Amino acid sequence: MRPRWSPNARCRGLMLAVINGWMKALVVRQPKPIEERPLEWRDLPVPEPRRGELLLRVRACGVCRTDLHIVEGDLPPVRDQVVPGHQVVGTVVALGEGTSRFQLGDRVGIAWLRSTCGSCRYCAKGQENLCPNARFTGYHEDGGYAEYAVVPEQFAYAIPPSLGDAEATPLLCAGIIGYRALRRANTRPGCRLGMYGFGSSAHIAIQVARYWGCEVYVMTRELKHRELARALGAVWVGDASEKPPVPLDSAILFAPVGHLVPPALEALDRGGTLAIAGIYLTDVPQLQYERHLFYEKNLCSVTANTRADGDEMLALAAEIPIRPRTTHFPLSEANEALRQLKHDGLEGTGVLLVGDDSGPERP
The domain that holds 124 is classified in CATH as 3.90.180.10
Provide the pLDDT for residue 19. 40
Task: Report if residue 336 sits inside a domain.
Answer: yes
Neighbours of 15 (CB within 10 A): 17
Q: Are 284 and 258 in contact (CB under 8 A)?
A: yes
pLDDT in tens, 88-145: 999 999 999 999 999 999 999 999 999 999 999 999 999 999 999 999 999 999 999 9
Q: Are 105 and 228 members of one domain?
A: no
Task: Report if residue 1 sits inside a domain.
Answer: no
Q: Are 253 and 187 members of one domain?
A: yes
**What's the residue count for the chain?**
363
66: domain range? 17-170+324-353
Provide the pLDDT for residue 356. 47
Q: Are 208 and 235 in contact (CB under 8 A)?
A: no
CATH number for the domain spanning 227: value is 3.40.50.720
Q: Are 219 and 261 members of one domain?
A: yes
Q: How far apart are CA 328 and CA 361, in angstroms?
A: 15
Give kind and range of the element (H or E) at residue 206: helix 200-211
Q: Are 244 and 346 members of one domain?
A: no
Task: Report if residue 306 sits inside a domain.
Answer: no
Task: Report if residue 315 sits inside a domain.
Answer: no
| pLDDT score of 71 more than 50 | yes
Q: Are 163 and 183 members of one domain?
A: no
Buried b (16+ CB within 10 A) or exposed e, 20-30: eeebbbbbbee
Buried b (16+ CB within 10 A) or exposed e, 159-193: bbeebebbbbbbbbbbbbbbbbbbebbebeeebbb
- Compute the mean pLDDT over every residue in the chain, rounded to the nearest whole number: 92
Q: Are 180 and 155 members of one domain?
A: no
Task: Report if residue 264 sits inside a domain.
Answer: yes
Q: Are 82 and 30 in contact (CB under 8 A)?
A: no
How many independent structural domains does the chain possess? 2
Read off the pLDDT of each residue in 4-33 and give the average, rounded to a whole number: 67
Is the Cα dihedral 25, 68, 169, 116 positive or negative? positive
| pLDDT score of 320 more than 60 | yes
Q: Are 196 and 286 members of one domain?
A: yes
Grade residue 20 by pLDDT with cuts at 50, 70 and 90: low
Q: Is this structure's pTM higher than 0.85?
A: yes
Provide the pLDDT for residue 357. 44
Give kind and range of the element (H or E) at residue 175: helix 174-184
Cis ω on the peptide bond leading into residue 77 (within 30° of 0)?
Answer: no
Read off the pLDDT of each residue in 78-97 and give the average, rounded to a whole number: 97
Provide the pLDDT for residue 6. 41
Provide the pLDDT for residue 347. 83
Provide the pLDDT for residue 10. 44
Q: How far apart are CA 312 and CA 184, in angstroms?
A: 15
Grade residue 7 by pLDDT with cuts at 50, 70 and 90: very low
Read off the pLDDT of each residue in 175-203 and give the average, rounded to a whole number: 97
Grade residue 17 by pLDDT with cuts at 50, 70 and 90: very low
Is the Cα dihedral 191, 162, 83, 363 positive or negative? negative
Task: Report if residue 10 sits inside a domain.
Answer: no
Q: Are 114 and 41 members of one domain?
A: yes
Q: How far is CA 65 from CA 50, 153, 306, in A?
A: 29, 25, 19
Q: Are 227 and 274 members of one domain?
A: yes
Q: Are 165 and 35 members of one domain?
A: yes
Read off the pLDDT of each residue in 56-83 and give the average, rounded to a whole number: 96
Q: Are 329 and 213 members of one domain?
A: no
Q: Are 251 and 131 members of one domain?
A: no
| pLDDT score of 363 more than 60 | no
Is 143 in a helix, a strand, or coil?
Answer: coil
Q: How far is CA 81 from CA 42, 130, 358, in A?
A: 11, 25, 21
Q: How far is CA 133 from the centre of its chain?
A: 20
Q: Please state the φ and ψ torsions of residue 223, each to the nearest 5 degrees.
A: -60, -45
Task: Report if residue 4 sits inside a domain.
Answer: no
Residue 359 CB-half CA count within 13 A: 3
Which residues have C-beta within 8 Å of that of residue 337, sequence separation ≥ 6?
Answer: 63, 327, 329, 346, 350, 352
Q: How far apart are CA 39 and CA 334, in angstroms?
A: 8
Task: Report if residue 105 sits inside a domain.
Answer: yes
Q: Name the residue among 142, 140, 150, 137 with its Cα closest to residue 25.
A: 142
Q: Please state the φ and ψ torsions of residue 41, each to the nearest 5 degrees.
A: -80, 125
E strands present in 126-263:
135-136, 148-152, 156-158, 192-196, 215-219, 236-238, 248-253
pLDDT in tens, 265-300: 999 999 999 999 989 999 999 999 999 999 999 999
Q: Are 58 and 90 in contact (CB under 8 A)?
A: yes
